[in-house]
Structure 1
Amino acid sequence: MGDGNDDLDAVYALKTPDDNRRHYDDWAEAYDSEFVEIMDYRLPERVAEVFVAEGPDAPVLDVGAGTGLVGVTLGALGVGPVDGTDISPGMLEKAAKKDVYRRLFEGDLLDRLPVDDGAYASAVSAGTFTNGHVGPDGVDEVLRVVRKGGLIALSINGEHWETAGFAAKFAALEGQIDGFRLVPVRYYGDQATGAHAADTGWIAVFRKQ
């Protein structure tokens, strides 16, 4: 892969689930060193901290767990058990080595996760809901697997909030969610450089009604 900014441009160009699976499988081995470190990627930590501050119940599902960065922060903050799902088996192999998840399983939010309705008390996701990953329709599957009253916190790329239909999606969920609010978040730390260094977004925080 190239530098962290090149990686992001490639990610945002992805269109299909198969494209995502192949890309992240190829990226998995070097993700933490070639992207997280180079770009000073802080989003997973920040999303996890906002989520924990809201008082989630367990078990928790980490949606789009990747290499396990959210899970590491949740574990450090005493939240568990946590399960993780991702479309990429290669990423899940890396997450498993961090030894912070009760269970890890492959899943596609645009299909149906291998999980019963209401199986989780809470759900969290960092870096999954954006133009190149999962669009607004994926929110429905998160709602399905979380029980009534469960806390959900999802990061959403700021550039795509309106253009990809996330604003319209959450407006349409009135009556299905409670306490909806948006927390602004910066994706990268002070060491990040390049075109994406100042990228920002939102953490959508709400409960299933």
Structure 2
Amino acid sequence: MAEENPLLRRAYSLDGDPDKTRDVYADWAESYDRDTANEFGYVAPGLAASELAELVSFDGVVLDAGCGTGLAGEELHRRGLMTIDGIDLSAEMLDVAAKKSVYRTLSVADMTQRLGFADNTYDGVICVGTFTSGHVGPDAIDELLRITKPGAPVVVTVHEKVWDKDGYLNHLRKLERQGLMRVREIKDSPYHEKAGYRCQLCILEAA
């Protein structure tokens, strides 16, 4: 069972301390793909990538925010998107992602801080598995919208454990009222399929 995996338990018990987060993912980097894809049935990267690929042209430039070992990047690449940048807090996870040869650039970044990209840089942004317990809160969506071109999509997954607790829907509605984006669709979707975890798959459009 996924809940019995000690690294997943450590990940879900994080409290937002970036040093603790780096430590967990440094330890998990080498076995992450095997654990999540095979043991947990981690289907969220493929589902999110399918949504983004429907909305971005093949020559579009995409950011995979919180890319980890590159599971979502691989899924985007399979769907014909070839220019993908990735950012993550963990250098060790990025080392694994680099071996997949699907990214144009990979860099360490803290999504709780302002990102080092100009406004309106990307034709699309995807973020899978980062909006979850003790990782990144809803305010980080603001930055993803800032760096996305007007009218372009931002696709994010939000783990079921934090959707209500951390007020994601209220935050999205606030961003809509402020004219910063619109919600195209929010879908209740599988996340860790074998473990029964679900997420809200949010398809947003930057303004």
The two structures share one fold, judged by TM-score above 0.5: yes
Asked whether 1:151 is paired with 2:153, we answer: yes
Q: Which amino acid aligns with 2:172?
A: F
Q: Which amino acid aligns with 1:103?
A: T
Identity, % of aligned pairs?
34
Which residue matches 1:20? 21
Describe the superposition over 1:123-147 as per-residue Cα deviations: whole angstroms up to 9, x where unpaired: 0011111222111011111112112
Counterpart CA distance in 1 for 2:30 and 2:99 is 12
Q: Look up the SS of the partner of 2:138 in the other structure.
A: coil
Asked whether 1:74 is paired with 2:76, we answer: yes
After superposing the two structures, state which structure 1 stretch, 49-58 or 145-154, moved more: 49-58
Which residue matches 1:33? 34
Which residue matches 2:189? 185
Cα pair 2:30 2:96 within 8 Å, conserved: yes
In structure 1, the gaps of 5 or more residues are: none
Which residue matches 2:203? 205
Change (3 A) 1:178 1:123: same
Counterpart CA distance in 2 for 1:18 and 1:113 is 18
TM-score (norm: length of structure 1): 0.90
Size of the aligned set, in residue pairs, is 201
Which residue matches 2:11? 11
Describe the superposition over 1:147-200 as per-residue Cα deviations: whole angstroms up to 9, x where unpaired: 2111100001122111112122111101211243202210134xx2xxxx1111
Counterpart CA distance in 2 for 1:179 and 1:19 is 33
Q: Which amino acid aligns with 1:42?
A: V
Counterpart CA distance in 2 for 1:4 and 1:26 is 17
TM-score (norm: length of structure 2): 0.91
Counterpart CA distance in 2 for 1:203 and 1:160 is 13
Cα pair 1:131 1:164 within 8 Å, conserved: no
Cα pair 1:123 1:152 within 8 Å, conserved: yes
Counterpart CA distance in 2 for 1:169 and 1:178 is 12
Which residue matches 1:107? 109
